[in-house]
């Protein structure tokens, strides 16, 4: 018989970024979630958000979620649909981010109880996987962007991703040309517009940037505007532009992923494991993408996504943002659960998720 959830505790942490991602993103917020069951086992999870919304996430955990889950089976797969049914009127976003904290803690608890790390608990498919260098760098001067690209080359990454969406398209063209020249023709180059463009701007920009042999263009439009993505797909096809479209970091439920996949407007889906509500819905999104023949490349959180990538049927790209892993931020109580070396990500087989936060 499955033990029941006996306790849910939370703690809010702020992790300053060594270089801000922008004027309004100077740190990351982590809400540690610790779940104990009636057999005395403990699991450690977390919710995560860049700067905005952390206190709202913790409030949802401390009130609506804690009250609902206490006494229920300490099993992530059993709990998730019932918890979503209870909370869904609050919408996605803050709600699913908060749910992830409990979901991750329960997966951690289950793996620890089994005496395994997360990768082996879920079912290991490989020892390591490809990582790519990524940066939140639209505000970097050109020389600093080129220097960052050079560091990725020296680190052995076989692919990189940089930001676009400058006020003047000519500046984006100049910057992407410089990055392509720095990394050479054999490494893949992806670009990320972070929802900055209108439909007309996206069509023009992608057309001008396509000659740089792009692996994908990420979030060219508002993430929740499905009709605009359908129109962009049609326009690019009509113009003979074949740049793959990637999206998903700001899609918060598997239901929305299903809509984008069914519409045939996305080539690479990028679920953020925390934003979609944890490992339980992430695995459902992976299965949805497989049925549609669409690639999965998880968004950020290499400490977690790097582990899940090792359990998927196809080799999965892991995003390694410079100086932004939990180890780089200096907030872990022990060794990192994922190490990126020579452009490859591998787990360190720590118990459970292997993510416990320092107390200072």
Which of the following is catalytic: 161, 163, 229, 252?
A: 163
Q: SS3 of 15, please?
A: strand
Q: Is 55 one of the catalytic residues? A: no
DSSP for 26-67, written as a single string: -EEEEEEEEEEETTS-EEEEEEEESSSSHHHHHHHIIIIIHH
Place of tokens 């962007």: 145
Distances (CA, A) of 117 to 101, 112, 136, 168: 18, 7, 31, 47
Q: Which two tokens stand for residue 56?
A: 């709202």
Mention every residue, 6+ apart, whose C-beta is less than 8 A from residue 352.
43, 44, 107, 108, 109, 111, 112, 117, 118
Q: Is 163 one of the catalytic residues? A: yes
Contact 337, 353 (CB under 8 A): yes
Closest CA to 103 of 282, 269, 258, 248: 282
Distances (CA, A) of 215 to 146, 190, 237: 19, 5, 17
Residue 268 per-residue DSSP state: E
Residue 2 per-residue DSSP state: P
**β-bridge mates for residue 163, sequence order:** 192
Which of the following is catalytic: 121, 229, 252, 299?
A: 299
Q: Centre a 10 Å sphere on the Cβ of residue 142 and count the other Cβ atoms it contains.
A: 12
**β-bridge mates for residue 160, sequence order:** 133, 189
Greatest alpha-carbon pair distance for the chain in Å reads 63
Residues with catalytic roles: 163, 299
């Amino acid at each position: 018989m499955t033990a029941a959830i006996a306790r849910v505790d939370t703690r809010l942490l702020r992790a300053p970024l060594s270089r801000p991602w922008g004027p309004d993103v100077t740190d990351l917020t982590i809400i540690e979630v610790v779940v104990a069951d009636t057999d005395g086992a403990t699991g450690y999870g977390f919710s995560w958000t860049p700067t905005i919304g952390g206190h709202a996430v913790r409030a949802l955990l401390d009130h609506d979620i804690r009250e609902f889950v206490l006494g229920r089976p300490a099993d992530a797969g059993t709990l998730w649909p019932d918890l979503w049914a209870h909370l869904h009127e609050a919408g996605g976003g803050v709600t699913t981010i908060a749910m992830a904290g409990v979901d991750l803690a329960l997966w951690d608890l289950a793996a620890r109880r089994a005496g395994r790390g997360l990768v082996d608990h879920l079912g290991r498919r490989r020892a390591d996987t490809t990582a790519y260098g990524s940066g939140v760098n639209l505000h970097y001067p050109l020389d600093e962007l080129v220097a960052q690209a050079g560091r990725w080359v020296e680190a052995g990454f076989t692919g990189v991703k940089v930001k676009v969406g400058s006020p003047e398209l000519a500046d984006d063209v100049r910057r992407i040309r410089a990055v392509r020249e720095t990394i050479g023709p054999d490494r893949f180059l992806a670009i990320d517009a972070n929802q900055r463009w209108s439909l007309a701007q996206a069509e023009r920009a992608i057309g001008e940037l396509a000659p740089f042999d792009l692996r994908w263009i990420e979030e060219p439009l508002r993430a929740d505007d499905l009709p605009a993505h359908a129109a962009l797909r049609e326009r690019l096809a009509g113009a003979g532009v074949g740049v793959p479209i990637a999206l998903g970091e700001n899609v918060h439920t598997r239901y929305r992923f299903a809509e984008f996949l069914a519409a045939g407007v996305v080539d690479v889906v990028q679920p953020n494991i925390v934003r979609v509500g944890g490992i339980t819905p992430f695995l459902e999104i992976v299965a949805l993408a497989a049925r549609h023949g669409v690639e999965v490349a998880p968004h950020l959180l290499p400490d977690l996504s790097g582990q899940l990538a090792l359990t998927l049927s196809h080799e999965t790209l892991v995003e390694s943002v410079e100086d932004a892993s939990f180890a780089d931020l200096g907030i872990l109580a022990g060794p990192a659960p994922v190490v990126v070396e020579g452009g490859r990500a591998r787990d360190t087989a720590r118990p459970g998720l292997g993510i416990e936060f320092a107390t200072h």
